Structure 1
Amino acid sequence: MRSVDDIDFARLTDRAFHPSPVAWEDEVLYFLMVDRFSDGRERDWRDNDGVTVAFGETPPLRPENHGNAMGTEAERAAWRDAGERWAGGTLRGLRGKLGYLRRLGITAVWVSPILKQVPGAESYHGYGTQDFLDVDPHFGTAADLRDLVAAAHGMGIRVILDVVLNHTGDVFDYAVPSPVWDGGTVFPVAGFRDAEGKPTLPFGPLTDRDTGVWPAELQDLGTFTRAGRIRDWDHWPEYLRGDFQALKDVALLRPDGGPSTALVALTRAYQFWLAFADLDGFRVDTVKHMDPAAARYFASSIHEFAVSIGKENFYLIAEITGPRSFAYRTLEAVGMDAALGIADVQDHLEWLVKGRQRPAEYFGLFRDALQDGKDSHTWYRNRVVTGYDDHDQVRKGARKARFAATEHGDRLAVAALALNAATLGIPCVYYGSEQLFDGEGGDDRYLREAMFGGAFGPFRSRGRHAFDEDHPVYRQLARILAVRRAVPALRRGRQYLRPISGDGEHFGLPEPVGDGPMRSVVPWSRIFAGREVVCAINTDPFLPRTAWVTVDAALHPPGSVLTCLFNTDQHHEGTTVSASARNGSAILITVPAGGFVVFGS
């Protein structure tokens, strides 16, 4: 296809499609970068049926292999440089690892952008699209995408595709060197880039699919704002009209405020991929940088198209960076379904678990929606995608680090994953967190280790894959997600941070004491349909902690019995505690070091 007009939508949609989930808060997302996940060449891993695969080229990663790429300065430089280039992960490789995800408890995989990138560019991340009607050959083919989704659906896993319409790749060059935003100047252009990357082609109809930009509707000069590179990411209208570094900003609205030809074409292109691959949702990149009217047109058009083919709850997850209040307003204005990239949620979750912030800072986030006329329980449970690690960590500025890299994060990872899974919102696991990936450094690349090894493997390794289903964090997370599936309150219930006591007499919310990190039991309740489930993590990475925990006296009056439904020390599951007449009603619980417990009746 050269144009969106070439798409035969009647034929494309003349079939049955996979239905949407009833409630997205029941889902558990897993975000992966296709280039960094699997190349399908691993050996000694478990296939989709759980059978060990003994053939392949890449053996499993062992602790003694950590740092095997750091022998000499030349080897260290080679490892670092490999992180800036295509690593080799494919859609077929991902398809072969769906069993790994299903056994972990993942129900929806969020896949990084896979459309065709600018030829010759090292845009392995997928955010530099050149052809919106084709899959990049590094990742595979359109058929590979369709087969991946079909296989995932057959295993109970939905697929959310990351999509970009705010900008294209570096498909043209300016006639002036490296222009930056200066108040709205429209800079002259040299031309579209040819197959060698040189700006030799005039704007207008093209014939070579490796040149310029596709579909053909995007080849007009007016497709692009041509306003130069963004300098101030929070200055309006600079952040709406400027270029993302070398990526080229698309003018999504006409001067009269209606959808531009480019926006209509991009929307049709993504409707094609939705139907062609039977996708379940989109994660929409850089919504902050799109005019709300343009984002609303896209959201309405996608939702209506999805409903027309039987997907009643096709989900649009908007990446909205910046303050939480801005994310609320933007999400409501554009008509998308959930917000991603609310930095203070990620920040408070991480630093609560590491004992550096008051638990009330995190739990308070889920109450402030009342200020916007929302009920926190109903709004947050399916309107916010929560997590802590991701692929760019905008919130951390120049010094980026995965959770496991600092502050005893390796010992506290289970507590972080549990807090994410068992509190309000749609939880999202970033690939490698279940294997304690610990990338850190001054560049995004260090957060994007290749799970399959290759030249840029995790833990500063090479040539070793990390699909270890016996890893203790993988196994604990699988158990946590199993109890989440089994207990509706953990997915849909209201939540309350609970006061604690060391002596059973003096109660208060857990707080840091002194200058050091808070080492404490942090408990909360989830209440749904008259049932209270009590959860707690321990922010002490070395020692178990015991505390009296307040419970709802009406639901669990003194004398009532609660059963341990989950404990990271599995031997304690099935044991019981009795509520005592303390602070109304309270139970005495012990949480293992860096661990998690759940009690219910």
Structure 2
Amino acid sequence: MKFYAKRLLLLFVMVLSTSFFCLAQEKEMLTHVEPPFWWTGMTNPDLQLLIHGKNIASFEVSLQYPGVQLKKINKVENANYLFLDLSISKNTKPGTFSIEFTKDKQRFSYTYQLKEKKKRAQVGQAITPADVIYLITPDRFANGDTTNDSTEDTQEKLNRTNDDGRHGGDIKGVMDHFGYFEELGVTTLWLNPFLENDQPTYSYHGYAISDFYKTDTRLGTNDNYKNLVETSHKKGMKVIMDQVFNHCGAGHWWMNDLPSKDWLNQWDTFTRSNFTNIAASDPYVSSSDFDLLTKGWFDINMPDLNLENDFLATYMIQNSIWWVEYSGIDGIRLDTYPYPNKHAMSRWMKALTQEYPDFYMVAETWAERASYLSYWNNDKANKDGYVSNVNSISDYALYYSLIRAFGKDGNIEEVYKTLAEDFVYGNPGNNKVFNGNHDVDRLLALLDEDVEKLKLSMVFTLTTRGIPQIYYGDEILMKNKRPDGKVRQDFPGGWKGDSRNAFTESGRTPKENEVFNYIKTILNWRKNAKSIHKGKLTHYQPVDNVYVYFRYTNVENTMIIINNSDKDYPTFSLERFEKSLEGYSKGKEILTGKSLENLQNVNLSKHTALIIDLSK
């Protein structure tokens, strides 16, 4: 018996040693497998795995798992890559399976996991005109976890004295302030990219991604982000993820070992983009201008991705789907939408909506005219045959007209004229409207520090058609001008030792509290204002810099009056608007709480707005 026991023990040790050898060999042979896991029950049964490892293309590949078929093994010019085309049938069970790699006498396996696809609670588009988006630059909002201010696996360390450096804000800092979001009245959080940006300098902004599947450790972990989304949902709020397809960071792991030369748009010497968005839709564009837009680099540390490469396009599309399924986000904002290959972007939109019908995706489309923007938000094919499939665009045309209207000596007819061009869009009501973001000077600075004009711009942004978005800190009168590092300034009170805490009433100045409460009043009224959520828009040509418009449904009607002039109107007549007032005899002014016992005239002071809920 002792003899057999020794033989059994020896056999166990040999098996265990072999297992450890295989695991070690697997770790040595494979450096990346992406996506890291996937789901059963997806609408699209196809999955393409990126496999990266030393000379991995010389191995034979096989797998055995009920419902999973290895359809094709794709080799590229770099022998350190394989792209495996899998098909996962509808009835495949969740579980793990081994991908076997063999070459001569070498053999190792990789364990891949399939999880069960969750049923999304949201039916229809998650983010609608009933919402208000609050845009946050995470590194600059609040430092909730000081232990991750600098991390071993990233190069740039904390330096809060540097406007362009890492300041230590993180996901926990955002989560620590749900009470502030709830008090203010916003419904949706949009964080600038939180994925790893492993650059030696200027990495805080998040747009030079070095790992598309990993949260930057200075901001937290993937689980932290997932927890942010789950907590938001428990509190009745939503989350938009900022994604980037046009470029990656120079520190991305594949930059040291590209799958193929055409993975990037490469030039003989460094060539910067011309940043002319309209070149993507210009029917007369020169090939050189078009190439500069779509293939030029954003910066020397932001290599330009070539989405004409089908493997890369599939990789990026699957990455979007992975984050939607993994985290449960409610929408995606796609950075620099016109810059990449537009056919790949259309393919992305179709793939996302196939998997998640009506999913909210807003394209960053930076152009000053509605006609330019309509190329991307169109309900039919453009004249060149291109169909974008985009369901929401960033309404820069309205943003620029808003800044002109409320700026020094501005005329509110600017926004009236821009809205009059809405006929060019497929769905203008889904446009994202905003009066500030991370790429432009602060709103108050652009309005010559005129607080009353800032308030008027807020009234317009929050009551016109579309899905409104405001930028963190504008509600407490942040006023810096560019460069970017100054615009994306730290929120006072987000760091221990700050001289004041503007997240609280006592930490804000009287003027800051005045503006905070003004916006808070609109936002919390807006949550139940069906006339704004679902209502049509009728507006009247401005006269003497006074703009009047109505948002209405069959049962609700809200009248908005914006006096952008320097003149007081103690008895501003409403006779001109009697058609829109028909059937209503009184109202309540939202900003002051005052009741209007008749609708003949109102007291309208200079540089003020009235939001009047009408009643019969």
TM-score between the two structures when normalised by the length of structure 1: 0.72
Aligned partners of 1:532 and 1:552 also within 8 Å? no
Max radius of gyration: which structure?
Answer: 2
Aligned to 1:293: 343
Aligned to 1:330: 376
Which residue of 466, 485, 488 maps to 2:502?
466
Q: Secondary structure at the match of 1:162?
A: strand
Aligned to 2:244: 164
CA distance in structure 2 between the partners assigned to 1:88 and 1:530 by the alignment = 49
Aligned to 1:548: 573
CA pair 594-88 structure 1, distance change in 2 beyond 3 A:
farther
CA displacement, residues 21-51 of structure 1 (integer Å, 9 cap, x when unaligned): 5661111111111111111279xxxxxxxxx
CA distance in structure 1 between the partners assigned to 2:477 and 2:571 by the alignment = 26
CA displacement, residues 484-541 of structure 1 (integer Å, 9 cap, x when unaligned): 2222122332223336xxxxxxxxx324xxxxxxxx5432222322643211123358
CA displacement, residues 161-200 of structure 1 (integer Å, 9 cap, x when unaligned): 000011101248xxxxxxxxxxxxxxxxxx976xxxxxxx
CA displacement, residues 386-421 of structure 1 (integer Å, 9 cap, x when unaligned): 11111112xxxxxx4433564343232222111100
Aligned to 2:43: none
Which residue of 435, 446, 454 maps to 1:413?
454
Deviation at 1:154, TM superposition (A): 0.5
CA distance in structure 1 between the partners assigned to 2:38 and 2:271 by the alignment = 37
Deviation at 1:479, TM superposition (A): 1.1
CA distance in structure 2 between the partners assigned to 1:538 and 1:553 by the alignment = 19
Aligned partners of 1:381 and 1:492 also within 8 Å? no
| 1:386 aligned onto 2:433 | yes
Aligned partners of 1:404 and 1:410 also within 8 Å? no
| 1:368 aligned onto 2:389 | no
Deviation at 1:222, TM superposition (A): 2.4
CA distance in structure 1 between the partners assigned to 2:32 and 2:116 by the alignment = 20
Bigger mean CA deviation after superposition, 355-364 or 91-100? 355-364
CA pair 541-356 structure 1, distance change in 2 beyond 3 A:
closer
CA distance in structure 1 between the partners assigned to 2:445 and 2:575 by the alignment = 31
Aligned to 1:248: 303
Aligned to 1:150: 230
Unaligned runs of 5+ in 2: 1-30, 41-113, 147-158, 277-288, 379-386, 507-512
- After superposition, where does 1:436-455 map in structure 2 within 5 Å? 436-441=477-482, 443-452=483-492
- After superposition, where does 1:383-532 map in structure 2 within 5 Å? 384-393=431-440, 400-404=441-445, 406-441=447-482, 443-452=483-492, 463-469=499-505, 471-498=513-540, 509-511=542-544, 521-529=546-554, 531-532=556-557
Aligned to 1:183: none
Q: 2:350 is aligned with what amino acid?
A: S
Bigger mean CA deviation after superposition, 479-488 or 228-237? 228-237
| 1:320 aligned onto 2:361 | no
Q: 1:386 is aligned with what amino acid?
A: V
CA distance in structure 1 between the partners assigned to 2:220 and 2:559 by the alignment = 46
CA distance in structure 2 between the partners assigned to 1:373 and 1:133 by the alignment = 34
CA distance in structure 2 between the partners assigned to 1:542 and 1:82 by the alignment = 45
Q: 2:563 is aligned with what amino acid?
A: N
Q: Secondary structure at the match of 1:358?
A: coil
Greater RCO (Cα-Cα under 8 Å, separation 6 or more):
1
CA distance in structure 2 between the partners assigned to 1:466 and 1:454 by the alignment = 8
Aligned partners of 2:273 and 2:295 also within 8 Å? no
Aligned partners of 1:13 and 1:275 also within 8 Å? no
CA distance in structure 1 between the partners assigned to 2:566 and 2:324 by the alignment = 44
Which residue of 575, 582, 585 maps to 1:561?
585
Which residue of 329, 339, 361 maps to 1:279?
329
Q: 2:596 is aligned with what amino acid?
A: T
CA pair 167-550 structure 1, distance change in 2 beyond 3 A:
farther
CA pair 496-17 structure 1, distance change in 2 beyond 3 A:
closer
CA pair 290-405 structure 1, distance change in 2 beyond 3 A:
closer
Bigger mean CA deviation after superposition, 463-472 or 141-150? 463-472
Q: 1:135 is aligned with what amino acid?
A: T
CA distance in structure 1 between the partners assigned to 2:581 and 2:377 by the alignment = 38
Aligned partners of 1:166 and 1:286 also within 8 Å? yes
CA pair 562-136 structure 1, distance change in 2 beyond 3 A:
same
Bigger mean CA deviation after superposition, 294-303 or 156-165? 294-303
Aligned partners of 2:568 and 2:604 also within 8 Å? no
CA pair 22-35 structure 1, distance change in 2 beyond 3 A:
closer
Q: 2:490 is aligned with what amino acid?
A: A
How many equivalent pairs are there? Answer: 469
Aligned to 1:58: none
CA distance in structure 2 between the partners assigned to 1:320 and 1:578 by the alignment = 41
CA pair 170-485 structure 1, distance change in 2 beyond 3 A:
same
CA distance in structure 2 between the partners assigned to 1:33 and 1:546 by the alignment = 44
Aligned partners of 2:332 and 2:361 also within 8 Å? yes
Q: 1:238 is aligned with what amino acid?
A: L
Deviation at 1:591, TM superposition (A): 4.4
Deviation at 1:292, TM superposition (A): 1.5
| 1:35 aligned onto 2:152 | no
Aligned partners of 2:133 and 2:469 also within 8 Å? yes
CA distance in structure 2 between the partners assigned to 1:140 and 1:166 by the alignment = 24
CA distance in structure 2 between the partners assigned to 1:522 and 1:406 by the alignment = 18
CA pair 596-89 structure 1, distance change in 2 beyond 3 A:
farther
Aligned partners of 2:363 and 2:392 also within 8 Å? yes
Aligned to 2:597: 576
Aligned partners of 2:199 and 2:250 also within 8 Å? no
CA displacement, residues 424-453 of structure 1 (integer Å, 9 cap, x when unaligned): 111101111111111114x11221111145
CA distance in structure 2 between the partners assigned to 1:249 and 1:373 by the alignment = 30
Deviation at 1:9, TM superposition (A): 1.9
CA distance in structure 1 between the partners assigned to 2:139 and 2:530 by the alignment = 35
CA distance in structure 2 between the partners assigned to 1:14 and 1:366 by the alignment = 41
| 1:3 aligned onto 2:33 | yes
Which residue of 225, 234, 249 maps to 2:265?
225
CA pair 589-486 structure 1, distance change in 2 beyond 3 A:
farther
TM-score between the two structures when normalised by the length of structure 2: 0.70
Q: 2:396 is aligned with what amino acid?
A: A
CA displacement, residues 547-591 of structure 1 (integer Å, 9 cap, x when unaligned): 223554345359x52212413x34xx2232233xxxxxxx33424
CA distance in structure 2 between the partners assigned to 1:145 and 1:529 by the alignment = 41
Aligned partners of 1:548 and 1:589 also within 8 Å? no
Bigger mean CA deviation after superposition, 349-358 or 133-142? 349-358
CA pair 469-428 structure 1, distance change in 2 beyond 3 A:
farther
CA pair 343-550 structure 1, distance change in 2 beyond 3 A:
farther
Unaligned runs of 5+ in 1: 43-77, 173-190, 194-200, 205-218, 255-259, 394-399, 500-508, 512-519, 580-586
